[in-house]
Structure 1
Amino acid sequence: MSGRALFGILIGWIGWAGGFLLLYVLQATGCRAGWDGHLLGPISALRLLLIITTVAIVLVLIWFTVKANRHGSTSSLARIGVLANSAAILAALCFTGVIWLRLCA
């Protein structure tokens, strides 16, 4: 197995983990700094920031998947990479909780 194929299989999940960490840090920082109390229209600044970040994470994961499939390789490792990245995109749906869940306790 080449390093490129292994990277193609893992990059989606590495991106998912980085995105999860980023959301967690933003939420903790925003709650501590009181960003949830600053309203921008009907939505708090913290919620808006988390929604924008979630959309950006999903777009980056989609980009990883497209890039992994760009070369049109028909090898089984390339197909596994696309499936693994697609699974990471589906797993990122758990991030959509920032839309309706309570952000700060």
Structure 2
Amino acid sequence: MNANPFFGLFAVWIGWAGGFLLLYGLQATGCRAGWDGDMIGPISVLRLLLVAATAGVVLVLLALWRKAGREGPASSLARIAGLANGAAILATLCFAGVLWLRMCT
């Protein structure tokens, strides 16, 4: 099977962008709906949803990274794609703010 070499280069970054939009939209919706005031024990419903969504996004990105690494022959583009996708995985650290930042102002 001949894979598109650019899938491996952009797969995880496209997934990262989708995850960012999902988290941003979830936060905006949750703030507007007042989910930050609804509590389940010591944690707000909004924070719980954001943490769960973040974990889901990271799992999807790791799966994409693994799939992208198996696509196509080992070439310079494949090595560059591996590094670029690794950078996308590291960029998910910006999602960690859902653990301690204020949800709504």
- Using structure 1 for the length normalisation, give the TM-score: 0.92
- Structure-to-structure mapping, 1:1-105, within 5 angstroms: 4-71=4-71, 73-105=73-105
CA distance in structure 1 between the partners assigned to 2:60 and 2:90 by the alignment: 13
CA contact (8 A) 2:30 2:46 kept: yes
Task: Give the counterpart letter for 2:36 in structure 1.
Answer: D
CA distance in structure 2 between the partners assigned to 1:95 and 1:69 by the alignment: 23
Unaligned 5+ runs, structure 1 = none
Cα RMSD over matched residues? 1.6
1:37-73 deviation digits (Å, cap 9, x = unpaired) = 1111110000000001111111111111111112573
- Using structure 2 for the length normalisation, give the TM-score: 0.92
CA distance in structure 1 between the partners assigned to 2:20 and 2:64 by the alignment: 16
Identity of aligned residues (%): 64
Count the aligned residue pairs.
Answer: 104
CA distance in structure 1 between the partners assigned to 2:86 and 2:61 by the alignment: 8
CA distance in structure 1 between the partners assigned to 2:72 and 2:5 by the alignment: 13
Query: Runs of 4+ in structure 1 displaced over 3 angstroms?
Result: none
